[in-house]
Amino acid sequence: MPVEVRELDIDEVLRYMGCPPERAEASVRVLAERAVELLLREIQPRWAWRAFRLTLEPDGVRLDGGLLLPGADLKAHLTGCEQAALFCATLGSGADRLIRRLESRDLAQAFAVDSAAAAAVESVCDQVELELQSRFPGHFFPFRYSPGYGDLPLSLQNELLDLLDAPRRVGLTASADHILIPRKSVTAFLGVADRPVARKSRSCLGCPAREECQYRKSGGHCGIS
């Protein structure tokens, strides 16, 4: 199923910009609206997924008897899930290029587009998540969980992308330092359980910056982890 982003919630974009929506000046709101307009012209959201059987082991979670996802946090998160859908989603390289282009001339606009792109990736992931849930009727799902949350290492990115054949299928890669490229992209696990599990809420758990985080202060999330 193709995923589209036709519009974005401007308040959400403002939160990513570190500005509480109810206190945004008109000029800042205009900046955010323009950012959304510029961004939506340049993005091409794509995604890919694959389902895995899970085995909980002492050191983490194992996928279909293959890759071990190390650490305690994901394991706790997926307890009660017999399987998980691994997915990746990306806005494509157009967003990166647009931001680079704006950066040299109008930093405020570049910053607003960067924030809009963070909101757009979240929107894409929300749609993907709904789509995946519909593929597992009668099942239950905790929130989606990405490398970088808790103690799940970012260094898994390259292997996760390989499992999804992501470079070929959607053009998503990871750098040698495990940064997803195109930048505005996400990989995540959606646990799938036969019996109800606590949905739990996505939070900034494990982020060392949570105390001073600008995004959190304005009621948002940075979109990085």
Partner 1 sequence: MGFRELLQKPGPVLLDGGMGTMLQARGLGLGEAPELAALEHRDWLVEIHRSYVEAGAQILCANTFGANREKLARTGKTVEEVIPASLAAAREAAGGQALVALDVGPIGQLLEPTGTLDFETAVEIFAQEVRCAVSAGADLVMIETMTDLQECRAALLAVKENSTLPVMVSLTYEARGRTFLGHAPACAALTLEGMGADVIGVNCSLGPREMPALVEELRRWTALPLSVKPNAGLPDPGGAGYDITAEEFAASMAELTALGVKFCGGCCGTTPEYIAQLKRALTGRTLAEPERRVPAAVCSGTCVVPIDRVRVIGERINPTGKKRMKEALLRGDVDFMLSQALEQVEAGADILDVNVGLPEIDEGAMMVRVVKALQGVVDAPLQLDSSSPEALERGLRVYCGKAIVNSVNGDAETLDAVLPLVKKYGAAVVGLTLDRNGIPQTAEARLEIARRILERALAYGIRREDVYIDCLTLTASAEQAGAAQTLEALSRVKSELGLKTLLGVSNISFGLPARPVVNQNFLMMAMTRGLDLPILNPNVEAMIAAVRSYHLLMNVDREAREFIAAYGNAAVEVKPVAGGARSLRQIVESGLRGEAGAAVRELLETVEPMEIVDGILIPALDQVGADFEAGRVFLPQLIQSAGAAQAAFEVIRERLSGQAGPESGKGPIILATVKGDIHDIGKNIVKVLLENYGYAVIDLGKDVEPLAVAEAVRTHHAPLVGLSALMTTTLQSMEETIGLLRREGLRCKTVVGGAVLTREYAERIGADFYAKDAKESVDVARQVIG
Residues 3-42 that bind partner 1 (CB under 8 A): 17-20, 23-25, 27-28, 31-32
Long-range contacts of 157-164 (CB under 8 A, 24+ apart): 157/187, 159/67, 160/86, 160/88, 160/187, 161/88, 161/187, 163/50, 163/63, 163/67, 163/86, 164/48, 164/49, 164/50, 164/86, 164/87, 164/88
> Considering only residues 71, 148, 150, 220, which one is a binding residue for partner 1 as defined by CB under 8 A?
148
196 vs 206, which CB is nearer to partner 1? Answer: 206
Strands 81-90 and 46-57: antiparallel
Q: Which of residues 196-215 bind partner 1 (CB under 8 A)?
A: 207-209, 211-214
Q: Which of 16, 2, 12 is nearest to 213 (CA)?
A: 16
Contact between 105 and partner 1 per CB under 8 A? yes
Contact between 137 and partner 1 per CB under 8 A? no
Structure tokens at 33: 């609206």
Phi-psi region of 10 (alpha: psi -120 to 50; beta: other; left: phi over 0): alpha
Contact between 218 and partner 1 per CB under 8 A? yes
> Considering only residues 182, 190, 191, 192, which one is a binding residue for partner 1 as defined by CB under 8 A?
182
Q: Which residues contact 95 (CB under 8 A, 6 or more apart)?
A: 39, 42, 43, 113, 117, 120, 182, 183, 184
Closest CB 84 distance from partner 1, rounded Å: 14
Question: x-or-dash pattern for partner 1, window 83-102, by CB under 8 A?
Answer: ---------xxx-xx-xxx-
Contact between 145 and partner 1 per CB under 8 A? no
144 vs 216, which CB is nearer to partner 1? Answer: 216
Report the alpha-carbon distance of residue 14 to residue 26 in Å, rounded: 12
Closest CB 186 distance from partner 1, rounded Å: 14
> Considering only residues 106, 139, 140, 205, which one is a binding residue for partner 1 as defined by CB under 8 A?
106
52 vs 141, which CB is nearer to partner 1? Answer: 52
Number of residues located near partner 1, criterion CB under 8 A: 76
**What's the residue count for the chain?**
225
> Considering only residues 84, 174, 190, 197, which one is a binding residue for partner 1 as defined by CB under 8 A?
174
Q: Which of residues 40-79 bind partner 1 (CB under 8 A)?
A: 46-51, 63-67
- φ, ψ for residue 54, nearest 5 deg: -110, 145
Q: Which of residues 107-136 bind partner 1 (CB under 8 A)?
A: 107-108, 110-112, 114, 135
